[in-house]
Amino acid sequence: MSNPPAAYTGLQKHLHWAVVLLLLLQYLLFDGMGRPFHQLMDGAAAYSTTVFAHIVIGVAVLLLALWRLALRARHGAPAAPAGEPRLFAQVSKVAHGLLYVLLIGLPVIGLVAWFGKLGAAAEAHEFGTTVLMWLALLHVAAVVVHQFWWKTNLLRRMV
């Protein structure tokens, strides 16, 4: 983008934190999808509160991520902070792109696994959840480095 905005909009910030909250719920509360999925594959009834919650939260993440991308296309995102090493700025661009790919790809693959009863998709989904977790941890570590090492006060962009 030739002329990046000075800040994220309030809506962009709210959506960022809404997705973080939903992901925390998804990881901390409802990781018991393995057993119901195997019941489903064996032809048994597999729906429970956990399964419904997992699907509803997952689809919510998908819709919010698409909304964020639409906002980003219209409004853009602030440029990398001055003083950030160039390589780091490029890596963070790739990391943000990958985060979006996972926020959209994971629920889609999960839906394909569940409704298409596809074991390979379930395995890809599981693998993707691990990648997302590590990438999110790396993202938080990068914010910490910015905040306390380079002192760019990056966190203020999102609050």
DSSP state of 56: H
Give, as ranges, the residues between 91 and 150 that touch ligand HEM (CB under 6 A).
Answer: 92, 96, 99-100, 106-107, 110-111, 113-114, 122, 125-126, 129, 136, 139-140, 143
**Separation of CA 33 from chain center:** 19
Place of tokens 């819709």: 63
Least distance to ligand HEM from the beta carbon of 99, Å?
4
Angle of helix 86-116 relative to helix 34-41, nearest 10 degrees, comes to: 40
**Separation of CA 107 from chain center:** 10
Give, as ranges, the residues between 47 and 76 that touch ligand HEM (CB under 6 A).
Answer: 54-55, 58-59, 61, 72
Q: Pick between residue 78 and residue 85 the one whose CB is nearest to ligand HEM.
A: 78
Q: Which of 2, 156, 5 is nearest to 75 (CA)?
A: 5
* Sequence-separated (6 or more) residues with CB below 8 Å from residue 106: 58, 61, 125, 128, 129, 132
Q: Is 154 in the site for ligand HEM (CB under 6 A)?
A: yes
Binding region for ligand HEM (CB under 6 A): 16, 19-20, 23, 26-27, 31, 33-34, 37, 54-55, 58-59, 61, 72, 77-78, 92, 96, 99-100, 106-107, 110-111, 113-114, 122, 125-126, 129, 136, 139-140, 143, 154-155, 157-158
